[in-house]
Amino acid sequence: MNEEIIIAGFGGQGVLLMGKIMAYAAMMQNLEVSWMPSYGPEMRGGTANVTVVISTERISSPIVNSYDTAILLNQQSLDKFENSVKPGGMILYDPNGISRHPERKDIKIFQVSAASEAAKMLTTKTFNMIVLGAYLKTGSPIRLEDVIKAISDSLPERHHHLIPANVEAVKKGMEIVQEINS
């Protein structure tokens, strides 16, 4: 198994943290992982992306240009990465604010209305966790229990009261994700 994932969106959406939790959860299963961010002065509103590779073997390149999975969270990212998904791969995206939807026919496409769901949950901070939950339902190698462990391990002690809300958000994402071209 070798899964190459890109997560892209606006800075401030929690893209990097989502990738980190995925990598951490995969590590819990003794898988090999790498997490390579686009780095630099990232600002709210600017773009941010991270490449996560999860594998049963030692990972060669942490930088790739075609992906098994693309989690794309704004129009710019969708436009940029749709064609980098390998045939047979998949795109997970949030239709909120998207005017041109993905058109590929040779891949699976999943939708998760994470932004509107996060608004309902009264905290936009859980947006990335809802997306992460959705990803768990798309045939990912990552297990929910490891994600929960990853969340508590990556939050500093003083934020531990936020763990239940985040776990709830992950579960919500698992619930509301839809495959749209099956």
Chain residues binding another protein by CB under 8 A are: 20, 23-24, 27, 32-37, 39-40, 59-66
- Supply the minimum distance, in Å, between the C-beta of residue 34 and another protein: 5
Nearer to another protein by Cβ, of 40 and 164: the residue is 40
Find the shortest distance in angstroms from Cβ 43 to another protein: 14
C-beta neighbour count of 127 within 10 angstroms: 27
* The dihedral formed by the CA atoms of 20, 145, 161 and 166, expressed in degrees to the nearest 10: 60
Q: What residues form DSSP beta bridges with 50?
A: 7, 37
Angle, CA 116 vertex, CA 110 and CA 117 arms, to 5°: 80
Taking the least distance from each CB to another protein, the nearer of 41 and 88 is 41
N-to-C CA span, the chain: 24
As a whole number of angstroms, the distance between CA 67 and CA 125 comes to 27
Q: Which lies closer to another protein via its Cβ, residue 28 or residue 98?
A: 28
Q: How far is the CB of 58 from another protein (least distance, A)?
A: 8
Nearer to another protein, 31 or 114 (CB): 31
Cβ proximity to another protein: between 84 and 181 the closer is 84
Nearest distance from residue 66's CB to another protein, in Å? 8
CB of 25 to another protein, least distance (A): 10
Tokens in use for 120?
A: 């309902």
Please return the burial class of 59, using the count of CB atoms within 10 Å of its CB with bins 0-12, 13-18 and 19+.
middle
